[in-house]
Structure 1
Amino acid sequence: MITADPSELPVLLERSVRAAARKADSMADLPDDLFRELRDAGAFRLLTPRELGGHEAPLTTVLDVYERLGRLDASVAWVVWNANWGFLGALLDERGTALIWNGEKDPVFANSGSPGVAVPTEGGYRVTGHWKIVSGIGGADWFAAVAVVMEGGAPRETASGVPDVRLFALAREQLSIRQTWDVTGMRGSGSNDVVVDDAFVPEELVARFDRPARLQRPLYRTFVPALVLPGCSAVVLGVAQAAIDETVALATVKKTVNGGVLADAPRTRSAVARAQAELRAAGLLLRSAAGALEVAGEAGREVTMDQRADLRAAMSHAADVCRRVLVSMYELGGSTSLYRRNHVERIFRDGMAALQHANHSADLFEAVGRVRFGREPGVPLF
């Protein structure tokens, strides 16, 4: 049954998530029974409008759920993040919403930020593309595809002079999945490739970023891409916290060459304290930046470019901190960190894989700097 309070999800799902972690890692996807439990609990409804059965939860609440799930398992948290595209129900018109939320079952989405192409045709668009690393696509009913509208063989520009990028909702039967997810980190996320070849998408299943949402409520009045972007950073904050927790547990029993335990070494205590302080500070910064967008949405104010830059900077900062924490904790474990029986081994490779996401690119600091100098960020959906 769906929980009335989304903040309860990590506790409600903890036993099942932990029990399925190794199986997901070995099969390179989430087990079907765990996916069904996530769906039934409402883990994929965090951003869905209330009238469609969703939580319509504040962004900071959603980020907290992602972070706490990340402490349990990176792959599960990642799939939950990438499946929470229910806010499309606030963007699409009523005809499009009825096509997706048709009463048969709770729809589950997957998305990839890399763009395909869309060519206008009568009544809609013809969409084509090859999207890589689409997490959770194996259990998804709908694919929320980003695509650039093309005219005359070139990207069509909006009135502001930027490429016309839109979201296209494609049903599962309109795409093919390529089993490409042969990796070491975040194996359980099932992040395979998606190929779409000239699929028709009606106008009512196309959403735009440059227009106000149909449902003008606080969550949907904010900068819509921000409902997605910081989720991956929240996940890695949780993964890095798990690395600290596991290392602290290990340090109380792992013997050193001097005969004592690792926890008695000053270097260990200093490294753990430093990691914990930096991680908590990074988490506070991310929530503060997200909270500023919430305040703007509640007040009906437009989110400023500076606020968007603050969010991007907080994400990049969180990525830097998490990378340092993961390396530090892996190093403290010594040779023990090499063995699969030690949880830090999987946490480390999962966390480092999550940090490879484009949203965590160091180049985004440069885009933030451009904004600080009064220039355009030069990054799509910034």
Structure 2
Amino acid sequence: MDILAAHAADTEQRGRLAPESLKAAREAGAFALRTPVAYGGSWAGAVEVAGLIAATARHCPSTAWVASTSLGSKNMLTFGDFPDSLLDEVFRDPDVPSCGVGAPSGIGVSGPDGVRLRGRWANASGCEDADWACLGTMVDGAFALVVVPTADLIIDHTWNVAGLRGTGSHSLVADDILVPIDQVASGGRLHYPPDAASVQLWGLTVLATVVGATRGALDVIEAVFASSRKPFMTSYRSMGESPGARHWLAEAAALQLRAQRTMLALAARIDAEPAINALENSRMQYERSQAAKDCQAAIDRILDLHGASGFAAGNPLQRFWRDMAVASRHPQLNAYLTAEGFGRALTAA
């Protein structure tokens, strides 16, 4: 994991994972988490997934994000009855990244030779390093999943945001390409929408990136407390001499630990019994969003402790802050909508 931290700034500057980071993540098994065991992957449970994604984000949130979206893309393949010949090709290398976008922003038209595909899919994280893309598409007016080699698609470099800059979440474009019918799952060959456990796993990977990034920010401020630095314009000889600073540090650590406990409890629930009813699904979504809010509050405490120097371009704290701020605004962590949904589920029960 030290390799990820050493190359996190390079990853951000490149706008995609540094080669050293990509190699380290592959060797750690981050891209095989949802590769089936039959193809050399781990097909890991939710607790293992959350642990590895969070540990990765502690050193480089962008790498963790790409690993989590690769997991989601490979998981989407289970929603379709794709032939073994295609799966053999997609999973030929169990550690290769994959990318995908579930939103059906493409259009396919069936013909005698396959499906003619046009469309644009935004926010395809890790697409420059992925061999395959799993894309939601409206084929002949019905939702379908289409599996396409990324080499057949155009990558439009549209990702220019404040955080997670190293994820390379660009747009994929299909310009009237022919896709063999075996690479299209629709109708009776498609199990969609996914079950609640699959959606919960997706949200869990988003939260794991946020929790891990917050732990990385804590590492930065704990190093400050271990140094000789003192609060500016005070008579204290170190940060640790200040009762206020110790209090703020304790609050930040407690908030991060609470978010981590929530994450692991949600993961254990997914592993224990995948059948999740509507009320519990809403409760889990709400708890996930509240864990993200804990992380946001923890980062605020950490920034206050560090002061303005934490925003220096060379300070990793500002990168953790920006990455966490963007990741925690993902729709899977939307606090007001999850509260709305939980309230609706409670009154309907």
TM range (shorter): 0.7 to 0.9
2:286 to 313, 331, 337: 313
TM-score by length of 2: 0.86
Q: How far apart are residue 199 of structure 1 and its match?
A: 3.5
Aligned to 1:341: 314
- Whichever residue aligns with residue 174 of structure 2, its letter is V
Distance 1:38 1:273 in 2: 31
Task: Work out whether residues 128 and 198 of structure 1, in 8 Å CA contact, stay in contact via their aligned partners in 2.
Answer: yes
Q: 1:115 aligns with which of 98, 104, 110?
A: 104
| Bigger shift: residues 117-126 or 358-367 | 117-126
- 1: CA distance, partners of 2:60 / 2:158: 21
Paired position in structure 1 for 2:222: 248
Deviations 1:106-147 (A, max 9, x none): 542112343313445147544433222221111001112123
Check conservation: 1:137, 1:191, Cα contact below 8 A.
yes
Q: CA deviation at 1:68?
A: 0.9
Cα separation, 1, equivalents of 2:269 and 2:190: 19
Task: Give the 5 Å matches for 1:263-274.
Answer: 263-274=240-251
For the Cα contact (< 8 Å) 1:130–1:196, is it kept in 2?
A: yes
CA separation in 2, counterparts of 1:211 and 1:319?
36
* CA–CA separation in structure 1 for the residues paired with 2:178 and 2:244: 60
Matched to 1:140, the amino acid is A
For residue 278 of structure 1, what is the aligned residue in structure 2?
255
Q: Alpha carbons of 1:321 and 1:127: their partners in 2 closer, same or farther (altered >3 Å)?
A: farther
- Cα offsets for 1:214-242 (capped at 9, x unmatched): xxxxxx98732333222011110011111
Q: Does 1:31 align with 2:5?
A: no
Residue by residue over 1:144-191, the C-alpha shift from the partner in whole angstroms, topping out at 9 and shown as x without a partner, is: 21234552xxxx4xxxxxxxx443211112211112223332222122
What amino acid does structure 1 have at the position aligned with 2:75? F
Secondary structure at the residue paired with 1:331?
Answer: helix
Aligned to 2:234: 258
The reply to whether residue 56 of structure 1 matches residue 36 of structure 2 is no
Q: Distance in 2 between matches of 1:304 and 1:255?
A: 52
- The residue that corresponds to 1:3 in the other structure is none
Q: Partner residue of 1:195?
A: 173
Residue pair 2:145, 2:184 contacting (<8 A) in 1 also = yes
**1:287 partnered with 2:264:** yes
Seen in structure 2, the aligned counterparts of structure 1 residues 98 and 88 have a Cα distance that, compared at 3 Å, is farther
Given that 2:31 and 2:94 are in contact with CA atoms closer than 8 Å, whether structure 1 keeps it comes out as no
Letter in 2 for 1:352: A
State the alpha-carbon separation in 2 of the partners of residues 150 and 267 from structure 1: 63
| Residue 16 (structure 1) aligned with residue 3 (structure 2) | yes
Does the 8 Å CA contact 1:49/1:90 hold for their aligned counterparts? Answer: no
Q: 1:372 & 1:232 partners in 2: Cα distance?
A: 25
Alpha-carbon distance, 1:197 to partner: 2.9
Which residue identity is paired with 1:193?
Answer: S
Larger CA deviation: 204-213 vs 234-243 = 204-213
Structure 2 alignment gaps of length 5 or more: none
Residue 142, structure 1, aligned to residue 132, structure 2: yes
Query: Deviations 1:250-276 (Å, cap 9, x if unpaired)?
Result: 134322212212222222222221222
- In structure 1, stretches of 5+ residues that fail to align are 1-13, 157-164, 214-219, 376-382
Residues 307 and 82 of structure 1: is their aligned pair in 2 closer, same or farther, counting only changes over 3 Å?
same
Amino acid at match of 1:45: A
Is the Cα contact below 8 Å between 1:45 and 1:86 reproduced in 2? no
**Partner amino acid for 1:314?**
E
AA partner of residue 202 (structure 2): V
Aligned length: 339
Same amino acid, percent of matched pairs: 24
